[in-house]
Amino acid sequence: MHSRFIHNNDLLGVTKARVEAVSLYGRGVFTTLAVHHHQPFLWSEHWARLLGHAARVGLDKIEFDETSVRASLARLIEANKVKEGRARLTLMTTTESGVWRVKDTDDCKTDLLILTGDARAASEDGLALTISPYRVNTLSPLVGIKSINYLDHILAWEEARARDFDEALTLNERGEIVSTTMANIFWVTDGTLHTPALTAGALAGTTRACIKELAATLSIPLVEGVYDLSDLGDADEIFLTSAGHGVGIVTTFDFHRYTVAVGSVALRLREALRQLTLQTD
């Protein structure tokens, strides 16, 4: 995290800032986007998803518009001198509507918090992937939402890291492939690209959507469907997508190793995504 941040469109220093108490129940949503060449990547897609998720968790009194928030993000990127990095936008309630509601408070106030940080370092050896022992509950009202109540993802990620893996594949209660703890997953079998359908519980990632469009542009066949672990057993390539990873190539899945060949689907899509970031304005 960098030394300055935005709170309700005000630029503040972390050592002097004071933020009001937030919801005891984690009523809030966030999005993390990449910053390339001092510019937020896929900004409009991230903002639209953030507002959509805010509505789904009951943050319906948001006083911030896209233009002012984009301007605040630009100020923060400039203040923190972010050329290549990440930014996180969070919308969260500061007044509780549950059993711990503050007395004499009628309206729920929604706060905006914007942070920036360095880009995640990419491993030259690729990503090591394992299987998470925890399951995604597709009946949860938070499934598919980037809620600030994110502890289940963090615990799953930490469990994988404790076993010296970079990420963990998550399954839902039916044993269907969902994603990894913090990224969407794709794999290639016999030249066809596959990714789990959102009905399995996956997040509608902005990078995921971008990769789907790039695959169509490159005439790479893509199938979204319902898959189990046996479908990954025949994969020739596996890669992850997120704002932090971009296209993160998996070279180890448990005890299986993958060799990234020149001209592979993953490398073609990673290069296409890189070219797209050069057009950021």
Q: What is the pLDDT of residues 232-267, one digit of tens each?
A: 988 999 999 999 999 999 999 977 898 888 889 999
Residues 241 and 204 occupy one common structural domain: yes
Query: What is the predicted pLDDT for the residue at 202?
Result: 94
Contact 183, 242 (CB under 8 A): yes
Query: What is the predicted pLDDT for the residue at 125?
Result: 79
Question: What's the rounded Cα separation, in Å, for the pair 30 and 89?
Answer: 5
Residues 209 and 156 occupy one common structural domain: yes
**Three-state DSSP class for residue 266:** helix
DSSP codes of every residue in 171-194: EETTS-EEEESSSEEEEEETTEEE
Question: What's the rounded Cα separation, in Å, for the pair 238 and 177?
Answer: 13
Question: What's the rounded Cα separation, in Å, for the pair 57 and 141?
Answer: 9
Residues 92 and 225 occupy one common structural domain: no
| pLDDT band, residue 279 (cuts 50/70/90) | confident
Residues 96 and 141 occupy one common structural domain: no
CATH of the domain at 49: 3.30.470.10
Mean residue pLDDT across the chain: 90
Average pLDDT over residues 109-135: 89
Question: Is residue 81 scored above 80 in pLDDT?
Answer: yes
Residues 268 and 156 occupy one common structural domain: yes
Query: What is the predicted pLDDT for the residue at 3?
Result: 82
Residues 174 and 226 occupy one common structural domain: yes
**Residue scoring higher pLDDT (51 or 262):** 51
**Residue scoring higher pLDDT (203 or 63):** 203
**Three-state DSSP class for residue 153:** helix
Residues 240 and 175 occupy one common structural domain: yes
| pLDDT band, residue 60 (cuts 50/70/90) | confident
Average pLDDT over residues 36-40: 95
Q: Which of 70, 89, 118 is the last residue of a domain?
A: 118
Question: Is residue 71 scored above 60 in pLDDT?
Answer: yes
Domain around 264 = 127-277
Question: Is residue 281 scored above 60 in pLDDT?
Answer: no
Contact 114, 58 (CB under 8 A): no
Q: Which of 118, 149, 165 is the last residue of a domain?
A: 118
